[in-house]
A and B are shown apart, each in its own frame.
Chain A
């Protein structure tokens, strides 16, 4: 017997002895089921009772007022129900909560964990009037509910052109052909045998904030800025795959294609493909989600999200761009004079304050206040973020916290003592190339109002007081 195995066995015995002697297992299980029944009843109580009304509030002013009324009510009821009527203080402390007393669910209840029911409002949302059909549409990351730099997999915004393809990885192939020495086919197992890399990159849809070109339209950073997410990808260098097939010297462009019913394609210069593109099969440590291209997607760091072809099944190498629909009819920026920019791949530096914002107003009165947001640049890292409380008249350096990674979301904070008066909040990102995020007026002067794509102008939130924030523009 190996020492390692012996240790394991010994540990195992120890774990058992910590709980109950083995001969009492059946008895223990009997007890557990009784407790479970009791607990189930109580669980319903705890999920529907007073605690819920305190915590799961929606952030509109109307709801805020309603929640205040509800918590006053809960306080009253709590004091009545309290066994020691004379005790004064917070019922959350004075009263015994269900979870203080009863057993919770066992380890077999949630084999794939989900967030607390109190977080049920934290979901991707769509704007139904934007598109003709939810199958070819977009939803938005709830940025105002997140912190740090990583977007949880289930909250990464979705953009499909033909719905979510449910691909069987055993039936999935990646073909590389065109101007190569030898056209190749890889299975998923073969792809995973190349040396792997891990990188956190933001993915931003080029149309993020596209609804705001003509003025303030949507009340919430989820809707104005939520077509961005940031995850840690695991995959293999695209250059490894291309080298394996042997790109001919005339090959200058690649055409990645998806396996879904839209067969999404984009032309990408070979230089970018060889520089840092990744063929990724995992996000945040687990397999890609179907919504994000399971089993394999292309990662094109810093460039338009549309180029990050999901359900990647084919890459052709050619000497000219293909001028396909998504790089001519779409993802070209119409200027005021009727001409249009094309091949606008890089996402310029951008930032947004996520809290406070219309969906997440300040719920407290004046005093110590946390302002936070995210910033990113397709050209490198974020060197600095400035924050203004007065609509861009005066600026303060924000504090960037957490990892500062190339072409990745950065988290910034500005901690200040709020005097309770209305605020006009703005954030301004400066990236490692020295590029300064423009105001919306500066952007419109160059681009007009019909660009749709690449709106990285400075966002303004009008904090009117506790409980209310509006999306506005300022002079």
Chain B
């Protein structure tokens, strides 16, 4: 097709899509087609809204995880270097160094499906099929000891029956009903008897060196 014809076709296409103005105050924008909405509407909610048809087992997920995920997250979700740890950590949330994983911290399984489907694998998002995402999600339940059968199959049908253990430990932001907001006077003089230094950054020495950027 000639360049001219191609652009002429494109113009006709755009003109068709633009269509007449709507009832909105400004009459701007055009109606999205059902296919366009379907192409972008990928979000999943805890009540299962947004889940596509599909299914995958722990065993299938194990294979896909090893190939697509383990380079960063480790074979069992233990995490490589500083990449996120996905499994373990149950019972550590009150520790000095809590380990926040899908099993120990995340409140909803739908978040796992949604995030894997939306943003993973890192650098190649939107490349997994729904069956693969179900399988990876099933495998992540398995490595977190939430299911113990390698043949367990996660699907659209049984998805919302699976609950994560930490769901009940989240509460809505209580601010401003916290003690900090009750303080109404700012002391100006002799606010404390003596001042001692209790912590120093230099002891840790983790500040990046200010490399010379001056002109040589």
Contact = CB atoms under 8 A, between A and B. Distances in A.
Contacts of A346: 175
A449 B178 CA distance: 16
Interface of B is mostly: loop
B170 A342 contact: yes
Contacts of A434: 184
Given A175-B37, A474-B196, A58 B93 contact: no
Interface in B14-51: 22-26, 28-32, 36-37, 40-47, 49
B100 A334 contact: yes
B210 A183 contact: no
B206 interface: yes
B93 A428 contact: no
Contacts of B26: 193-194, 240, 244
29 contacts: A48-B216, A56-B215, A121-B213, A127-B207, A132-B84, A161-B119, A175-B36, A185-B29, A216-B200, A261-B125, A263-B118, A316-B43, A320-B47, A328-B170, A339-B171, A340-B170, A341-B173, A342-B172, A390-B195, A424-B195, A424-B197, A435-B176, A436-B186, A438-B183, A442-B183, A462-B200, A472-B199, A473-B198, A475-B192
A132 B83 contact: yes
Contact of A395 (B30, B96, B186): B186
Contacts of B123: 135, 162, 261
Interface in A212-268: 215-220, 223, 240-241, 243-246, 255, 257, 261-263, 265
Contact of A325 (B30, B114, B202, B210): B114
A300 to B, nearest CB: 15
B111 interface: yes
Interface string A455-475: 000000010000000111111
A175 B210 contact: no
A436 to B, nearest CB: 5
A337 B98 CA distance: 11
Interface stretch (B62-70, B102-110, B132-140): B102-110
A289 B169 CA distance: 39
Contacts of A348: 175, 180
Given A263-B119, A470-B202, A472-B200, A338 B169 contact: yes
A158 to B, nearest CB: 16
A418 interface: no
B94 A338 contact: yes
Nearest to A246: B24
A325 B202 CA distance: 35
Given A60-B210, A323-B107, A394-B189, A265 B180 contact: no
A10 interface: no
A223 B207 contact: yes
Contacts of B181: 435
Interface of B: 22-26, 28-32, 36-37, 40-47, 49, 72, 81-84, 93-94, 96, 98, 100, 102, 105-108, 110-111, 114-115, 118-119, 122-123, 125-126, 169-176, 178-181, 183-192, 194-202, 204, 206-208, 210, 212-216
Given A162-B125, A322-B43, A338-B93, A473 B199 contact: yes
Nearest to B183: A436
Nearest to A329: B106
A117 interface: yes
Given A135-B123, A175-B36, A435-B180, 4 more contacts: A323-B107, A339-B169, A358-B207, A386-B186
A380 interface: no
Interface in A139-161: 161
Interface size classification for chain A: 35 or more
Contact of A341 (B32, B115, B171): B171
A216 B169 contact: no
B186 A323 contact: no
B213 to A, nearest CB: 5
A313 interface: yes
Given A216-B201, A245-B24, A323-B110, A56 B188 contact: no
A135 B124 CA distance: 13
A450 interface: yes
B194 A184 contact: no
A474 B108 CA distance: 41
A323 B45 contact: yes
Contacts of B23: 246
Contact of B29 (A186, A313, A318): A186
A45 to B, nearest CB: 12
Contacts of A450: 98
A329 B105 contact: yes
Nearest to B178: A446
Contacts of B114: 322, 324-325
Interface in A383-404: 386, 390-395
Given A217-B204, A265-B118, A342-B170, A58 B196 contact: no
A126 interface: yes
A391 B37 CA distance: 57
Given A162-B125, A386-B186, A344 B32 contact: no
Given A338-B93, A338-B94, A344-B175, A324 B111 contact: yes
A97 interface: no
A62 B206 CA distance: 17
A63 B185 CA distance: 43
Residue from B32, B125, B173, B181 whose CB has the most chain A CB atoms within 10 Å: B32
